[in-house]
Amino acid sequence: MAVLQAVIPPVISCDQPAARGLFYVPEARMATPDPQPLMDVIQGALGPVISAVIGRIGKLAERAARGGEFSLSRWLLELPSAVGGGIMASGLADWLGASQTVACAIAATAGWIGPRVIVEVILARLKAGKGAAS
């Protein structure tokens, strides 16, 4: 066994520095990512997302007040579209150069009317544009 250890060096040795592998990057050169841009995006979209969710809850509550059913499963199914509507409203307000208050108002309105109405309006505008161009 001693002959084998003399011929084959040990794989891990406490008195040797760590092996430099193929993907070795020295500690001093490693750049840490700056989390601030991501935090800015999250903070900018948080208000509109909450507003869109509240708008969607308001629409479902109004539907329940008219005799419809308000169920948790229905709300959970509509939650992702409300979050998406809030993110879109945040981007739209940023593109328009509007304030955070306007972004929240756009998001609450988008949450209230829902994704189907928004898509129908967009499709109607596209069809109207094609009809005028023909």
List the chain residues with pLDDT less than 70.
1-31, 130-134
pLDDT at 28: 53
Residue 34 lies inside a defined structural domain of this protein: no
pLDDT at 62: 87
C-alpha distances (whole Å) from 89 to each of 39, 98, 129 are 18, 11, 23
Q: How many structural domains comprise the chain?
A: 1
Residue 84 lies inside a defined structural domain of this protein: yes
pLDDT at 93: 83
pLDDT at 9: 52
Residue 114 lies inside a defined structural domain of this protein: yes
Residue 17 lies inside a defined structural domain of this protein: no
Rg (CA), the chain: 28
* 37: helix, strand or coil: helix
pLDDT at 76: 83
Residue 105 lies inside a defined structural domain of this protein: yes
List the domain range (segments joined by +) for residue 95. 45-134
Residue 29 lies inside a defined structural domain of this protein: no
3-state secondary structure 114-128: HHHHHHHHHHHHHHH
Residue 92 lies inside a defined structural domain of this protein: yes
pLDDT at 8: 52
DSSP 79-121: HHHHHHHHHHHHHHHHHHT--HHHHHHHHHHHHHHHHHHHHHH
Residue 131 lies inside a defined structural domain of this protein: yes
Cα separation, 78 vs 54, whole angstroms: 12
Cα separation, 76 vs 78, whole angstroms: 5
